[in-house]
C-alpha cells in the first residue's frame, strides 16, 4: 500500500521506499493537497501558500506546471496520478483508507474519544498510543518558514499535544503514575512553559511519594512563566500546588487530572 505522511517531514512511501519531491513548490502543492485530502483546494489557496501572498503575474500558469509535474511524480512513485483530480475551482487529492497518516491519526483519536465517553479507558489508551505513534516529529517539518504551512503545522501540532495530554491523563487515572514520570520530565524539559505537562508531572511525582520534587517542579514552571512570558501560573497549577502543600487526600484519587484541577 502507498502511504502519504504529513505528521513529520512530508513523505510518500511506496514498497517501503520513502521519497519526497525535491522542488519546494511541488512539495508544497503535495503537502497542501494531503492535509486537505478529499476536499477541493482552490487555486487561490495554492497560490497564496506557494508565494506567501506575493505571487508573480504568471502564478496561475506556474501552478498548472507544478500540478502537472506532481502528477508525473505521483505516477512514478505509487501510481497515484489519477487520484489528483482537477476541479472547476481547484484540485483534490483522493486517498483510500489507511493511505494518509493524518486520516489514521484522526480515526484513532475518534475511537479514543468514544471509548473514553463509555468508560473504556484501556481501549482509549490503546487508540491514543496508536495515534501518537504515527508522528515522526513536528508536522510538515520540512516546509516550515512559509506562513500557510507554519499555521497548518501549528494546528496539527496542537492536535498531537491534545492526544498526548489525554493519554497521560488516562495513565494517571489508571494509577500508572510512576510509568509517566520520565516521559513528563522530558516533555517539560523541551517545553518549560507547558502548564498541563507540569501539572501532570507534579501529580505523578506526588503519587509516587516524591513530594519535594513535585514542589520543585512547580517552582521551575513558575520561574519559566514569569521569566519568559511575564505571567504567573494559571489557576489549575496554583490549586494543585496548594493541594500538594496541604497533602490533600483527594490527590490520591485516580481521577482524570483535567477534571480534578
Mean pLDDT of 147-166: 95
- Identify whether 197 is part of a domain: yes
Residue 115 scores a pLDDT above 90: yes
**pLDDT confidence of residue 221:** 98
Spatial neighbors of 150 by CB under 8 A, at least 6 apart, are 144
Please determine, for residue 41, whether its predicted confidence score (pLDDT) is greater than 80: yes
Name the pTM for this structure: 0.89
pLDDT confidence tier of residue 126, bands split at 50, 70 and 90: very high
Question: Does the pLDDT at position 143 exceed 50?
Answer: yes
Q: Mean pLDDT, to the nearest integer, of 129-141?
A: 96
> Residue 145 falls within a domain, yes or no?
no
Domain stop point among 44, 61, 93: 93
Q: How far is CA 173 from CA 50, 114, 196, 255, 258, in A?
A: 45, 17, 15, 5, 10
**Which of 43, 71, 93 marks a domain boundary?**
93
Higher per-residue confidence, 181 vs 14: 181
Binned at pLDDT 50, 70 and 90, residue 261 comes out as very low
Q: Which helix (H) or strand (E) holds 90?
A: strand 90-93
What domain range includes position 35? 3-93
Q: Is residue 121 part of a domain?
A: no
Number of domains forming the structure of the chain: 2
**Residue 178: other Cβ atoms inside 10 A:** 14
pLDDT tens figures, 207-245: 999 999 999 999 999 999 999 999 999 999 999 999 999
Q: Which of 93, 112, 129 is where one domain is finished?
A: 93
113 inside domain: no
Cα radius of gyration (the chain): 22
Amino acid at each position: 500500500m502507498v502511504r502519504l505522511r504529513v505528521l513529520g517531514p512530508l513523505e510518500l512511501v511506496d514498497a517501503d521506499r520513502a521519497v519526497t519531491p525535491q522542488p519546494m513548490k511541488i512539495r508544497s502543492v503535495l503537502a497542501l493537497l494531503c492535509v486537505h485530502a478529499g476536499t477541493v483546494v482552490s487555486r487561490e489557496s495554492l497560490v497564496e501558500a506557494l508565494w506567501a501572498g506575493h505571487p508573480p503575474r504568471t502564478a496561475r500558469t506556474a501552478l498548472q506546471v507544478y500540478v502537472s509535474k506532481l502528477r508525473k511524480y505521483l505516477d512514478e512513485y505509487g501510481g497515484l496520478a489519477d487520484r489528483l483530480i482537477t476541479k472547476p475551482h481547484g484540485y483534490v487529492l483522493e486517498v483510500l483508507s489507511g493511505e494518509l497518516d493524518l486520516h489514521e491519526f484522526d480515526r484513532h483519536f475518534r475511537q479514543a474519544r468514544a471509548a473514553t465517553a463509555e468508560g473504556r479507558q484501556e481501549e482509549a489508551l490503546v487508540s491514543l498510543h496508536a495515534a501518537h505513534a504515527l508522528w515522526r516529529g513536528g508536522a510538515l517539518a520540512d516546509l516550515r518558514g512559509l506562513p500557510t504551512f507554519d499555521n497548518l503545522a501549528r494546528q496539527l501540532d496542537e492536535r498531537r499535544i491534545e492526544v498526548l495530554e489525554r493519554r497521560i491523563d488516562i495513565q494517571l487515572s489508571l494509577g500508572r503514575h510512576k510509568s509517566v514520570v520520565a516521559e513528563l520530565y522530558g516533555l517539560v524539559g523541551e517545553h518549560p512553559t507547558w502548564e498541563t505537562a507540569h501539572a501532570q508531572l507534579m501529580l505523578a511525582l506526588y503519587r509516587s511519594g516524591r513530594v519535594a520534587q513535585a514542589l520543585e517542579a512547580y517552582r521551575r514552571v513558575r520561574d519559566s512563566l514569569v521569566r519568559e512570558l511575564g505571567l504567573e501560573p494559571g489557576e489549575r497549577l496554583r490549586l494543585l500546588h496548594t493541594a500538594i502543600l496541604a497533602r490533600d487526600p483527594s490527590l490520591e484519587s485516580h481521577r482524570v487530572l483535567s477534571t480534578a484541577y
